[in-house]
Amino acid sequence: MRSDRQAQGALATGWQSSAAELQAGGTLRRRQDEGSRSGWERVRLAALQLFMTFLVITFLVPTFWMISSSLKVSTEVFAHPIVWLPQDPHWNNYVKAFQLLPLTRFIVNTLIIVLFAVVGTVVSSALVAYSFARISWPGRNFWFGLLLATMMLPDVVTLVPRFLIFKNLKWIDTWLPLIVPYWGGIGAIYVFLMRQFFRGIPMELEDAAEIDGANRMRVLIQILLPLSKPVIATVAVFALLQHYNDFMNPLIYINSMDKWPLALGIRAYNDSYAKNWEVVFAASTVMLTPMVAIFIVAQRYFVQGIAMTGFGGR
């Protein structure tokens, strides 16, 4: 049996080069006009640079404005012309946000829901993807086709009947409807991503393992998954974003405020304290912060995942 490290190394470079290709985008021009950059070309690029700077600032303004306004006193929020930066940051808005509604509770609830939903997504997708990628069984193509078809399915069709099912199960006003379905591997895009990745891992490793008598679960856990950290991270990050963002499901299933996730909480600030922009913005900033942190830490998984799903349509 080839040493794991060797395989991991080979795979890692394979992944990186393909990821680099995906991410690179721009490098292709580099060679092309290395020596031949005329004056005109330089002017064009400078103009482009300037325009992109202007545009990216425009894109960032709403978020910046939200964060800066979360630190303003209300006279600054409603000032003409606009005050871009508060004179001194008014952190008390955050204290107020935590006092007006149980924001800590919302955060804890969100953490619990997201944690279980994401773990469920990763575990179930890995199992299902392994089956589709590595085992041959009758009906496999049929089920895989169904899986792909669900990507085109608008969720709304199942909205009402799912509600009725959960109502029958007495799951209304619990977190179960927000968690249990995602243990069913029905996130087609995640299964697809993992399957593609598994298929890129050389088979010899497993063949060797099977001769060793290792059963399939062990093959998956001990050989495939350790090699699949990039795709696991991608799936986890995407699922996290999905569940953190989810608004409609909590809206339908969760009634009591002490079970609300952040998404419903922010709406409550917006409804109940509509006049206190600075508090609404403070609460929204609280909801945004973890996402920014994750984006900074896991940026490459965001990009890789999107790029990979993009090619799913090919």
What residues between 264 and 283 interact with another protein by CB under 8 A? 266-267, 269-270, 277, 280-281
Q: How far apart are CA 105 and CA 269, in angstroms?
A: 14
Question: CB-hemisphere CA count at 13 Å for 156?
Answer: 1
Distance of closest approach, residue 6 Cβ to another protein, in angstroms: 26
65 lies in the site for another protein, by CB under 8 A: yes
Distance in Å, CB of 103 to another protein, minimum: 13
**Using N-to-C axis directions, what is the helix angle for 103-134 and 188-199, rounded to 10°?**
50
Burial 53-81 (b: 16+ CB within 10 A, else e): eeeeeeeeeeeeebbbbbbbbeebbeeee
Contact residue for another protein among 1, 12, 43, 52 (CB under 8 A): 52
CB of 91 to another protein, least distance (A): 19
Cβ within 8 Å of residue 306, ≥6 positions away: none
Does 105 help bind another protein (rule: CB under 8 A)?
Answer: no
- 125's CB contacts (< 8 A; 6+ apart) are 185, 187, 190, 191, 193, 194, 235
Residue number with CB closer to another protein (78 or 91): 78
Q: Which stretch binds another protein (CB under 8 A): 89-97, 201-209, 226-234, 305-313?
A: 305-313
Interface with another protein in residues 15-44 (CB under 8 A): 21-33
Does 218 sit near another protein (CB under 8 A)? no
CA 182 to CA 121: how far, in whole Å? Answer: 5
Nearer to another protein, 135 or 258 (CB): 135
Q: Rule CB under 8 A: is residue 221 a binding residue for another protein?
A: no
**3-state DSSP call for residue 250?**
helix
How many C-beta atoms surround the C-beta of residue 181 within 10 A? 18
**176: amino acid identity, one letter:** L
Q: Which of 168, 190, 207, 205 is nearest to 305 (CA)?
A: 190
Using the minimum distance from each CB to another protein, give the nearer residue, 129 or 205.
129
- 223 binds another protein per the rule CB under 8 A: no
- Regarding 77 and contact with another protein (CB under 8 A), the answer is yes
Smallest distance from another protein to CB 47, Å: 10
Binding mask 170-209 for another protein (x = CB under 8 A): -----------x-xxxx----x------------------
14 binds another protein (CB under 8 A): no
The verdict on 91 binding another protein (CB under 8 A) reads no
Contact residues for 84 (Cβ-Cβ < 8 A; gap 6+):
65, 68
Measured distance CA(307)–CA(196) in Å, rounded: 13
Return the structure tokens found at 301.
């998984």
Cis, bond preceding 89 (omega within 30 deg of 0): no
Q: Which helix (H) or strand (E) holds 147?
A: helix 140-150
Nearest approach, Cβ of residue 5 and another protein (Å): 27
Q: How far apart are CA 70 and CA 51, in angstroms?
A: 29
Shortest Å, Cβ 227 to another protein: 17
The footprint of another protein on residues 240-269 (CB under 8 A) is 241, 244-245, 247-248, 251-252, 262-263, 266-267, 269
Output 193 or 262, the one with its CB closest to another protein.
262
Question: Which residues ranging from 112 to 171 are in contact with another protein (CB under 8 A)?
Answer: 124, 127-128, 130-132, 135-141, 143-144, 146-148, 150, 152-165, 167
